[in-house]
Structure 1
Amino acid sequence: MIRKLIASVVMMSGVLAASTGALAADNGDVNVLYAGSLVNLMEKSVGPAFEKETGLHFKGYAAGSNKIANEVKGKLRRGDVFISASPKVNANLMGDSNGNHVSWYVNFAESPLMIGYNPKSRFAADFKTKKWDAVLREPGIRLGRTDPKLDPKGAFTVELMTKAAQAYNQPDLVEKTLGTPENPAQVLPEETLVGRLQSGQLDAGFFYSTETSDLKIPSIHPAPELGIKASYTLTILNDAPNGAGAARFVNFLLSAEGRKLLAEHGVDIKKPAVNGNAQGIPSSVQAVIDAAQQ
């Protein structure tokens, strides 16, 4: 009887060990939740390069930054790394009242807001010869943008047009170009906006420079003096299933190779700036940050 009991214990130990090994194998996946404006950069460049460098598996999910934050906060989505297009989004995930999903984040890159247009659009020539705000007010132009409640780019678009109206003394500019902030004729999911433009469903839209540069979309920089741009941040979520893999991804993105890939895709590189509780940053990540700040 005792021998059977011992054999049973040994067998169960083997099963538990096998299960633990399977869980360890699953840690090869690194789930990165990122702003939809970075789809091409992440899926075609950073992700494959990270996999080649580390042997880990990059699993990306793209959407508007606010939308991702809302899904994380509502426990509808889990991830290891979160990359946002605005520092403000991180505040919605910090502190006990917000679920304490984020303790710190790093500003690491910027990308100006641009107006991209379809080169086959009947308005394409006008963008080359007329003031950009005049073209946006032309009858029949099909303009696309993202939801200001779900995506920083949508909020930046409204901010740009509001500031331009004041700077250019055109009080009706916002109404004439955007209509209402949630105008259903213009507002589209961030991950579909580029495709709509390229397929000819839109004449023009608001994009970041990384999108227009990456995808060779003709563009103009409207009102650069107003300084409207994305400020990309990254963090490791506090409840990351694979914290070690997350640290390796952040290390790669902030490394010389990662920063080179960012620059190649039209992103303006910044020296990493830490916000929040720096004591929560893994030591390996802090070392890479320190090196990038030199």
Structure 2
Amino acid sequence: MTRSARRTGGCRPTLRMAGAGAAALLALTACSDSDPDPGSDPGKGGESGELSGEVTVFAAASLTESFEKLGAQFEKDHPGTNVTFSFGGSDALAASITGGAPADVFASASPTTMEIVADAGAAAGTPETFVRNRLEIATLPGNPDGIASLKDLTDPGLKVVLCDETVPCGSAVRKALDAGALKLTPVSYEEDVKSALTKVVLKEADAAVVYKTDVRAAGGTVEGVDFPESAGAINDYPITLLEEAPNAAAAEAFVGLVQSAAGQKVLTEAGFLKP
């Protein structure tokens, strides 16, 4: 974070110069030197301390609804800022960041994908876990197939959708299936948790294993079914300011909002677990 300090004080020439014209010129020069540094940017943590400009946040798809609320709150608290989100699979977002995509903040759905960014030297400081999330089965409204357990999803008559195992949701599902010694062949693997849930919402699948937060966000379009194996497949969500953040001051403030009591309230109301 770069800040330009304002130089204060009156015009105090230190040399005596002959002639009124020379004295006036000296006074003018001294006053000019006390002006703010023209290279300062008050909107990005400069003299005024006010924040402005765009903040680009790369975040796991499961954070969509919560982060959009927090983004709106941030813009309200800091007029002149604009929070832009890129939601998707954490692995794809990490690849974009390490590939040079301009971003200020990264919030991942697992420490593993965050490590990709940190190991590449793209994280500023140590990423911190801000929430956790647990899996749940999403079924059609009313649960017409009577799904009551993870094992029920192995019924060959059911069309089940899972997240790809390269993304945190899919990796967590794999842990849950292994814990129950279950083998499940889905009709498709999806690139992120929202894509998997959408298959059920559109009735293109009978069920999907997603996060509890996504089931809650979907409202009455799906029904959630808990299963005990999910207890051993809880994902930690880390967040970090990025090393090459174009708007580091505002980005740091956004991370602060996410970690604040107000931010945690929004996240826990969405179904996330406290870290």
TM-score under structure 2 length normalisation? 0.76
**What CA distance in whole angstroms lies between the structure 1 residues aligned with 2:270 and 2:170?**
21
CA apart distance, 1:140:
2.9
- Measured against aligned partners, the alpha-carbon deviations of 1:95-129 in whole angstroms (never above 9, x if no partner) come to 4xx24445311111111111111116xx63412xx
Match of 2:253 in 1: 248
- Name the CA shift for 1:159/1:102 in 2 (closer, same or farther; >3 Å): farther
CA separation of 1:74 and 1:225: change in aligned 2, threshold 3 A: closer
| Deviation at residue 92 of structure 1 after TM alignment | 1.3
Aligned to 1:141: 158
The CA RMSD measured in Å over matched residues stands at 2.7
Task: Note the alpha carbon deviations across 1:232-282, whole angstroms, 9 max, x for none.
Answer: 110001111111011110111111211111111111122xxxxxxxxxxxx
| Distance in 2 of aligned mates of 1:21 and 1:53 | 16
Which residue identity lines up with residue 213 of structure 2 in the other structure? T
Q: Deviations over 1:178-225 (max 9, x none)?
A: 36xxxxx32112142222221111211111111112222311222247
1:133 alignment partner AA:
K
Question: Is 1:208–1:230's contact at 8 Å kept on the other side of the alignment?
Answer: no
Structure 2 residue aligned with 1:62: 87
* Alpha carbons 2:213, 2:271 under 8 Å: kept: yes
Q: How many residues align?
A: 231
What SS does the aligned partner of 1:206 have? strand
Alignment CA distance shift 1:132-1:91 (3 Å) = closer
Q: Which SS does the other structure have where 1:124 is aligned?
A: coil
2:224 matched residue in structure 1 = 219
CA contact 1:213–1:265 (8 Å) conserved in 2: yes
- In structure 2, distance between residues paired with 1:193 and 1:235: 26
Q: Give me the whole-angstrom Cα distance separating, in 2, the residues matched to 1:46 and 1:159.
A: 31
> Any conservation in 2 of the 1:111–1:209 contact (CA below 8 Å)?
yes
Residues 1:261 and 1:133: Cα distance change in structure 2 (over 3 Å):
same
Aligned to 1:178: 185
SS in structure 2 opposite 1:126? coil
Q: CA deviation at 1:74?
A: 1.9
Closer, same or farther: CA 22–51 of 1 in aligned 2, 3 Å = closer
* Contact preservation (8 Å) 1:34, 1:83: yes
Give 1:65 shift: 0.8
The aligned amino acid for 2:85 is: G
> Larger relative CO (CA 8 A, sep 6+): 1 or 2?
1
Give me the whole-angstrom Cα distance separating, in 2, the residues matched to 1:26 and 1:46: 16
Which of 189-198 and 260-269 deviates more? Answer: 189-198
Distance between the aligned counterparts of 1:112 and 1:201, measured in 2?
A: 24
Mapped to 1, the partners of 2:205 and 2:70 lie a distance apart of: 29
In 2, Cα distance between equivalents of 1:243 and 1:94: 17
In structure 1, distance between residues paired with 2:230 and 2:133: 14
Q: Which of 82, 92, 105 matches 2:127?
A: 105
| Equivalent residue, structure 1, for 2:239 | 234
- Partner amino acid, structure 2, of 1:178: T
Aligned equivalent of 1:154, options 170, 195, 200:
170
* Structure 1 contact 164–223 (Cα < 8 Å) conserved: no
Letter in 2 for 1:39: T
User: Percentage identity across aligned positions?
Assistant: 25
Name the one with the larger helix percent. Answer: 1
Which whole-Å CA distance do the structure 2 matches of 1:199 and 1:146 have between them?
A: 16
1:72 aligns with 2:135: no
Which residue in 2 is equivalent to 1:6? none
CA distance in 2, matches of 1:93, 1:65: 11
From 195, 198, 205, the equivalent of 2:198 is 195
Q: Do the aligned partners of 1:50 and 1:249 also contact (CA within 8 Å) in 2?
A: yes
User: Residues 51 and 250 of structure 2 are in contact (CA less than 8 Å); yes or no, is this contact kept in structure 1?
Assistant: no
Alpha-carbon distance, 1:37 to partner: 1.0
Q: Which amino acid aligns with 2:163?
A: T
TM-score, scaled relative to structure 1 = 0.71
* 1:54 positional shift: 1.8
